[in-house]
Amino acid sequence: MSPIKIVIIAGLLYFGYRLLISDWKKKRGKGEENPSKEMPQDGQVEDVLVEDPICHKLVPKQQAIRLKQRGAEGYNYFCSEECCNLFVSQTGEKE
């Protein structure tokens, strides 16, 4: 094998290697973009605490059970369905 052929083959290998690396970096770059965009949507956007009127626990608004207030435009928030049901049975039967 002549030295020139070795140089050409080495050059081709290097070129192919560079192509592979740049392609791989592009794919990795795209892969890293998505999780960082999805992260804020996963719950950190509206991280407001609301108080459960039954047990007075503070619950993240997104996880709380929401119940429309009677005769008002607001909502009551509960930590669990049990508290929600308790609230309905307490306030609903008074009418």
Give the binding site for Zn ion (CB under 5 A). 52, 54-55, 57, 79, 83
Q: Report the nearest approach of Zn ion to the CB of residue 45 (Å).
A: 24
Smaller CB distance to Zn ion: residue 39 or 79? 79
Closest to Zn ion by CB, 52 vs 76, is: 52
DSSP assignment of 21-58 equals: HHHHHHHHHHHHHHHHHHHHHTTTTT--EEE-TTT--E
DSSP for residue 9? H
CB of 84 to Zn ion, least distance (A): 8
**Least Å from the CB of residue 38 to Zn ion:** 30
